[in-house]
Structure 1
Amino acid sequence: MLKGLGDMGRLMKQAQEMQAKMAEAQARIAEIEAEGSAGAGMVTVTAGADGTLKRLHVDPGLLSGEEEKEVLEDLIVAAVNDAVARAREAGQAEMAKVTEGLELPPGMKLPFG
């Protein structure tokens, strides 16, 4: 009758270990940054895996006149999207390391919540 308690204890221990691994992965993900660029490097941005914009650099040559404003805005948007996509990819790769070997139902995403 008490045999099931051992299984429950093992499951609880595995859940605690997974929780610790998830916390470690989330800490690593918070540190991930990726750079994106547009216009042959005339605009570069750095984004975090959480989608936040960290840094922006615009080549001074783009700032010569009002007519370039639209082009500059388009390049900034393209560079931000490039950086965010790369950072998100890196974050997903980090999370995949934690969930490797887990038999999760299709479509289930971690962390839960």
Structure 2
Amino acid sequence: MRGMGNMQGMMKKMQKMQKEMMEAQENLNEQQFEGVAGGGMVKVTVTGERQIVDVALDASVVDPEDVEMLQDLIIIATNDALKKVEETTASTMGKFTQGMNLPF
């Protein structure tokens, strides 16, 4: 019967950890992350759910003769924002899996 008490305690800990993980994920999803390119002349804002919510362009980068440069800057800023989401997610959610040998 001693093993049942340990099992119940472990289940409670797992439920608590699951609840904390869900709260942390919800918090991440509500955050916004800004990526920049061209010295801040292009800014892309994404949510933790990786949805683009804003693109801000400095008028000086809008050159009809060089659309490709603007496209590249938008891609760079978007990737920068997404990288910030990934890094924040890894550091926030990683504390829940620290020490566990989980396959990916």
Fold conserved (TM > 0.5)? Answer: yes
Deviation at 1:106, TM superposition (A): 4.7
Deviation at 1:105, TM superposition (A): 1.0
**Which amino acid in 1 is paired with 2:43?**
T
Matched-pair contact (CA < 8 Å) for 1:32–1:91: no
Counterpart of 2:91 in structure 1 is 93
**Which amino acid in 1 is paired with 2:72?**
D
Counterpart of 1:26 in structure 2 is 25
Counterpart of 1:82 in structure 2 is 80
Distance between the aligned counterparts of 1:104 and 1:59, measured in 2?
46
Three-state SS of the structure 2 residue aligned to 1:29 is helix
Aligned mate of 1:68, from 57, 66, 69: 66
Report the RMSD for the aligned CA atoms in angstroms: 1.7
Three-state SS of the structure 1 residue aligned to 2:88 is helix
Counterpart of 1:51 in structure 2 is 50
Tell me whether 1:40 sits opposite 2:39 in the alignment.
yes
Deviation at 1:96, TM superposition (A): 2.3
TM-score when normalising by structure 2 = 0.87
Distance between the aligned counterparts of 2:53 and 2:86, measured in 1?
14
Provide structure 1 residue ranges, at least 5 long, that are not aligned to the other structure: 109-113
Three-state SS of the structure 1 residue aligned to 2:66 is helix
**Which amino acid in 1 is paired with 2:87?**
E
Deviation at 1:99, TM superposition (A): 3.6
Distance between the aligned counterparts of 1:64 and 1:106, measured in 2?
49
Deviation at 1:72, TM superposition (A): 0.5
Matched-pair contact (CA < 8 Å) for 1:38–1:44: yes
